Amino acid sequence: MRKKGKDCVKLRGEKKLCEAMDAIQAIRGTRDILPSEVGYWQKIEQLAARILSQAGYEEIRPPIFEATSLFARGIGEATDVVGKEMYSFTDKSDRHLTLRPEGTASVVRAYIENKLYVESGVQRLWYAGPMFRYERPQAGRQRQFHQIGVELLGSGDPRADVEAIALATEILQNLGLKSLQLDINSVGNPEDRTSYRQALVNYLTPYKNELDKDSQERLSRNPLRILDSKEKKTQAIAQNAPSILDYLGEKSLQHFEKVQQLLTALGIKYTINPRLVRGLDYYTHTAFEIQAADLGAQATVCGGGRYDRLVQQLGGPETPAIGWAMGMERLILLLQKLEKPPIKAPDFYLVSRGETAATMALVLASSLRQLGFQVELDLSGSAFAKQLKRADRSKTVATLVLGEEEVSNKTVQLKWMASGKQQVIETSKLLAMTAELRSEIKQHQLG
Ligand code: ATP
Ligand code: MG
């Protein structure tokens, strides 16, 4: 049932405006990430940050909205992302702005604008944050979703491709994810693609009326995208289309073969998928995706590729580059099947009775936190028994009890929850035995 409420707004210089309205809800395609779930998010973010920084990647945080032309020029006008999915608007000064649908164009803009290429020949960058696409929401597909991504700028070496791919697989493996499949392909350089494009159009034209509507349009504008279609019938037709790999020039072939060799040297299994072209226009040479078997229709958890022409196209110096992005929501769907969300139980839960004890508990909690302990203070003001029940529910390692007797003796009752062991300690002594407390807490957590 939808809640009815009254909403009042007072604008400057106007009468207070109240109107009955439905309780405001989150916008379709967006979600709250609640405390019960946020442990998964933090786990992935921390793991990715560690693995990426070990490999010399530095975090970059570009703004969430940019000039619409950045995406139109960067990603390509004929792509779904730009053509159909962007959240674009004009601000009060009539600027054309867009909530970023992906990270690469912004990172490249920042790279050029801040002349990061001057600092070092190779720049290794990563980012994490929300992206926005107007799509049909379903499991693993939202309108505000989150990505972690990397961009490795300044190297055209196949080792760069493989470094990037290896980092993605390392993150996924460290999360404990299984049944993943890495698909790779080469989309060559623009010259290779021109000859392939013609062959593809020749093959597809007789089937034109059987293709889905979008694909029919793409036949003249952007035929490679047809291979990326999610429509069953179009996919079936595309199955027998000529392979782009037969149209690669010698240099492109060499690059692709080297990438395969290096993946093998690292023990990374892959499948060559000549129909993998990816949804964005800026890719050259290597394109790859990592799919998870247990995700149903939204199976791709990571996608990326090389984009050697993008920096120049956006007004920077000629700079080869490769990058990828992972979808956080899809990773979390997978993690949820594997494990419970990590919970943060307190080391100490403080309960008290009476005014003076309540003040002392507040002070003690603060002192313990300064010593580095995780401490939760009962603020309910309810009876002792109820507070103790809550301590139990909090899964705390130990409970500290302050009653009238403890106040007058300047002591505190310490109860270890797992063993039930209790002791009465002088408050000043408790604060002086940090090392013992820490090791006791560790033992209890392990036990
Ligand atoms: P898809 O084919 O699933 O639409 P895509 O090719 O549009 O994916 P990319 O632009 O390559 O996706 O983005 C990289 C990753 O970001 C995807 O593999 C996916 O995990 C995630 N992602 C993309 N769009 C969404 C979305 N709308 N909701 C949730 N995750 C998404
Ligand atoms: Mg998409």
For residue 2, the model assigns a pLDDT of 42
Q: Is pTM, for the whole model, over 0.95?
A: no
Q: Where are the alpha helices (DSSP H) in 247-373?
A: 250-265, 310-313, 328-338, 355-370
Instruction: Work out which ligand 1 atom sits closest to the CA atom of 301.
Output: 20
A 10 A CB-CB count for 249 gives 13
Class for the domain spanning 348-446: alpha beta
Give the residue, by CA position, lying nearest to ligand 1 atom 21.
Answer: 327
The predicted-structure confidence for 343-359, as pLDDT tens digits, reads as follows 789 999 999 999 999 99
Give the residue, by CA position, lying nearest to ligand 1 atom 22.
Answer: 327
For residue 4, the model assigns a pLDDT of 45
For residue 279, which ligand has an atom nearest its CA? Answer: 1
For residue 8, the model assigns a pLDDT of 55
Domain ranges of the chain: 1-30, 35-189+249-338, 348-446
Distances from the Cα of 439 to the Cα of 83, 372, 396, 446, angstroms: 59, 13, 15, 11
- Which tokens belong to 287? 């394109």
For residue 355, the model assigns a pLDDT of 93
Q: Measure 327 CA to ligand 1 centroid, in angstroms.
A: 6
Domain 35-189+249-338 CATH assignment equals 3.30.930.10: yes
DSSP single-letter state for residue 157: S
- Which tokens belong to 128? 């994490």
Domains 35-189+249-338 and 348-446 share a fold: no
Q: Measure 278 CA to ligand 2 centroid, in angstroms.
A: 9
Taking a C-beta distance cutoff of 8 angstroms, is the pair 336, 131 a contact? Answer: no
pLDDT averaged over consecutive 10-residue blocks of the chain (447 residues)? 48 55 91 95 97 98 98 87 94 98 97 93 97 96 98 98 98 94 95 91 94 91 87 92 95 98 98 86 91 85 96 96 98 93 90 95 97 96 93 96 94 95 95 93 82
Pocket residue to mutate for ligand 1, from 300, 328, 330, most atoms within 8 A of Cβ: 300
Pocket residue to mutate for ligand 1, from 145, 282, 333, 334, most atoms within 8 A of Cβ: 145
> Long-range pairs for 253-262 at CB < 8 Å and ≥24 separation?
253/186, 255/158, 255/186, 255/285, 255/286, 256/186, 256/285, 256/286, 258/158, 259/158, 259/161, 259/162, 259/184, 259/186, 259/286, 260/184, 262/158, 262/159, 262/161, 262/162
Q: How many Å separate Cα 208 from the centre of its chain?
A: 38
Give the residue, by CA position, lying nearest to ligand 1 atom 28.
Answer: 141
For residue 243, the model assigns a pLDDT of 95
- Ligand 1, residues at Cβ distance < 6 Å: 102, 133, 135, 140-142, 145, 147, 278-279, 298, 300-303, 325, 327, 329-330
Q: Measure 227 CA to ligand 2 centroid, in angstroms.
A: 13
Rounded to the nearest integer, the mean pLDDT of the chain is 92
Q: What is the spatial distance between Cα 356 and Cα 379, in angstroms, rounded to a whole number?
A: 14
Instruction: Work out which ligand 1 atom sits closest to the CA atom of 324.
Output: 14
